[in-house]
């Protein structure tokens, strides 16, 4: 039986007009993601992955096309609706963690919890990502992998329907990258839909249920063997 759709992306285009001409960062992307799916997005640098994720995360606007999350048309949201969407519906994880340096791990998660309607308990979420013992540490006192765990806890505390992670392992060594992917998989197993961009082929092969390969702003393959085709290009 077919699962329930969470995310629908329809012929999405984002063009940037610069003095050098037009850059078609996202150029007619369409795909659907089911509730509870873990979906990896791969593609070379400049393929349009970050632009795509930023639109899905409500941080950028598109030139044309539509994005629906849980039946609501995100691409038609006004500014205020987008603010609510970013606070409540999606959790974003960045490559460089983006933690507030003068707040402890727990305070970073609490800060995010204060701007949403029905947050989870920050201490519990921090414990869930394996950091109960480091709650009082500042980011500079944590390893890269631990900082990324804090960032994932911060993304989770809103209890979002989708986690969007843009190269979450891009700054980590292979062992820590593996742990972060395991954590994202655990989160996914608990029911949260996860969209993750990564370059790391080994991780992709080890974890994915589905791979969408993007190049030149277009989907070039989508499926269990997507990455293989991408490598063959």
45 touching ligand ADP, by CB under 6 A:
yes
**CB-wise, 52 or 142, nearer to ligand ADP?**
52
Burial 58-75, CB ≥16 within 10 A → b, else e: beeebbebebbbeeeebb
Applying CB under 6 A, among 23, 63, 88, 123 the residue interacting with ligand ADP is: 23
Residues 3-22 that bind ligand ADP (CB under 6 A): 16, 18
What is the per-residue DSSP string for 187-201?
HHHTT-EEEEE---H
CA atoms within 13 A on the CB side of 30: 4
Question: Which of 48, 58, 65, 119 lies at the binding interface for ligand ADP (CB under 6 A)?
Answer: 48
Residue 223 C-beta: closest distance to ligand ADP, Å: 20
Smaller CB distance to ligand ADP: residue 45 or 101?
45
Taking each continuous run of H as one helix and of E as one strand, the counts in the chain are 8, 10
Tell me if 168 contacts ligand ADP by CB under 6 A: no
Contacts of 53 (CB under 8 A, 6+ apart): 41, 164, 166, 195, 197
DSSP letter, residue 134: G
Q: How many residues bind ligand ADP (CB under 6 A)?
A: 12
**Does 47 contact ligand ADP by CB under 6 A?**
yes
Instruction: Say which residue the tokens 């006004």 belong to.
Output: 78
Is residue 177 near ligand ADP by the rule CB under 6 A?
A: no
**Cβ-based nearer residue to ligand ADP, 70 or 216:** 216
Q: Which residue is associated with the tokens 């996914």?
A: 188
* Comparison of 10 and 24: residue with beta carbon closer to ligand ADP: 24
DSSP string, 64-77: EEEEEETTEEGGG-
Candidates 32-40, 41-49, 122-130, 179-187; binding stretch for ligand ADP (CB under 6 A): 41-49
- Considering only 12, 33, 39, 49, the residue that binds ligand ADP (CB under 6 A) is 49
d(CA 227, CA 43): 9
For the bound state, the minimum distance from the C-beta of residue 5 to ligand ADP, rounded and expressed in Å, comes to: 24
CA 69 to chain centroid, in Å, comes to 14
- CB nearer to ligand ADP: give 25 or 129: 25
122 makes contact with ligand ADP (CB under 6 A): no
Q: Which residues contact ligand ADP by CB under 6 A?
A: 16, 18, 23, 25, 43, 45-51
């Amino acid at each position: 039986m077919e699962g329930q759709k969470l995310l629908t992306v329809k012929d999405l285009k984002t063009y940037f007009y610069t003095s050098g001409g037009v850059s078609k960062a996202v150029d007619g992307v369409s795909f659907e993601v089911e509730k509870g799916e873990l979906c990896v997005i791969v593609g070379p640098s400049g393929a349009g992955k970050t632009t795509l994720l930023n639109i899905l995360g409500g941080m950028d606007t598109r030139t044309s096309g539509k994005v629906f999350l849980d039946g609501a048309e995100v691409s038609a949201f006004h500014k205020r609706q987008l603010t609510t969407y970013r606070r409540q519906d999606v959790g974003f994880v960045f490559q460089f963690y983006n933690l507030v340096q003068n707040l402890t791990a727990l305070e970073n998660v609490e800060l995010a919890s204060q701007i949403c309607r029905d947050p989870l308990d920050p201490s519990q979420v921090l414990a869930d990502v394996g950091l109960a013992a480091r709650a009082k540490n500042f980011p500079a006192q944590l390893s890269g992998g631990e900082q990324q765990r804090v960032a994932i806890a911060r993304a989770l505390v809103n209890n979002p329907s989708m986690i969007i992670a843009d190269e979450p392992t891009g700054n980590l060594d292979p062992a820590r990258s593996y742990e972060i992917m395991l954590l994202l998989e655990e989160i996914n197993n608990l029911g949260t839909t996860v969209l993750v961009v990564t370059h790391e082929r080994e991780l992709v092969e080890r974890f994915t249920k589905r791979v969408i390969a993007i190049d030149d702003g277009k989907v070039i393959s989508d499926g269990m063997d997507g990455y293989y085709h991408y490598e063959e290009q």
